[in-house]
Amino acid sequence: MPSQSTQPAPTAMNGTRQTTPQPRAPELWRLLIAMVYDSLLVVSILIVASAIVVVPFGLITGAAIPGNHPLFRLWLATAVAAFFLWFWVHGGQTLGMRAWRMRVVRMDGQSLRWRDAIARLLASLLSWAACGLGFAWILVGPQHRTWHDRLAGTRLVMVKKNRS
């Protein structure tokens, strides 16, 4: 289980160094469950994105668009990418991550910019291409980060429970 690490803080006015605890990284099981939540949303997005193209195309031409058409596949990939990019840049959490109290941040703790989110998304393809091994790296990596987080300069952190 990941432990809280400490990182030296800037020197205080009296010349002593202070350490501030770093947020804890999520466990692999928590990440996998959040991914299941998000996959349900992705299926919904794919259904809506498909309907946006298929219904008007069928009404206009009277024929169905082939599901293997390259432009149709590009459209669906763009819809899925937009889902993740939007949520990572605007709050650092997809809905699955929010439910399981995780957030993606840059290594300096700041929110992701579009460039960071795009780098993370593209690098995540490597984690998936290796049969998910990039995600399992959380278990053995020294900072409990996935391959795509390491490549993109990001990390997952746990978010404190909101008591409202």
Residue-level pLDDT at 66: 72
Query: Is 5 a residue whose pLDDT tops 50?
Result: no
**Residues 112, 105 contacting (CB under 8 angstroms):** yes
Domain that holds residue 135: 27-158
Q: Does residue 102 contact residue 159 with C-beta atoms inside 8 Å?
A: yes
pTM of the full predicted structure? 0.81
In a domain, 101, yes or no: yes
* Mean of pLDDT over the chain: 87
Q: How far apart are CA 118 and CA 123, in angstroms?
A: 8
| Residues ≥6 apart with Cβ < 8 Å to 29 | none
The pLDDT of residue 4 is above 50: no
- Residues 105-117 have pLDDT tens digits of 999 999 999 999 9
123 within a domain of the structure (yes/no): yes
Q: Output the six-digit token pair for 31.
A: 């990440």
Question: Which pLDDT does position 1 carry in this prediction?
Answer: 46
75-132 tens-digit pLDDT:
999 999 999 999 999 999 999 999 999 999 999 999 999 999 999 999 999 999 999 9
Pairwise pLDDT comparison (17 vs 149), residue with the higher score? 149
- Whether 5 is covered by a domain: the verdict is no
Sequence-distant (6+) residues with CB within 8 A of 159 are 23, 93, 101, 102, 103
Considering its fold, how many domains does the chain have in total?
1
**Between 23 and 148, the higher pLDDT residue:** 148
Q: What b/e readout covers 104-137, taking b as 16+ CB neighbours within 10 angstroms?
A: bbbeeeeebeeebbbbbbebbeebeeeeeebbbb
Would you say residue 11 lies in a domain? Answer: no
82 DSSP 8-state letter: H
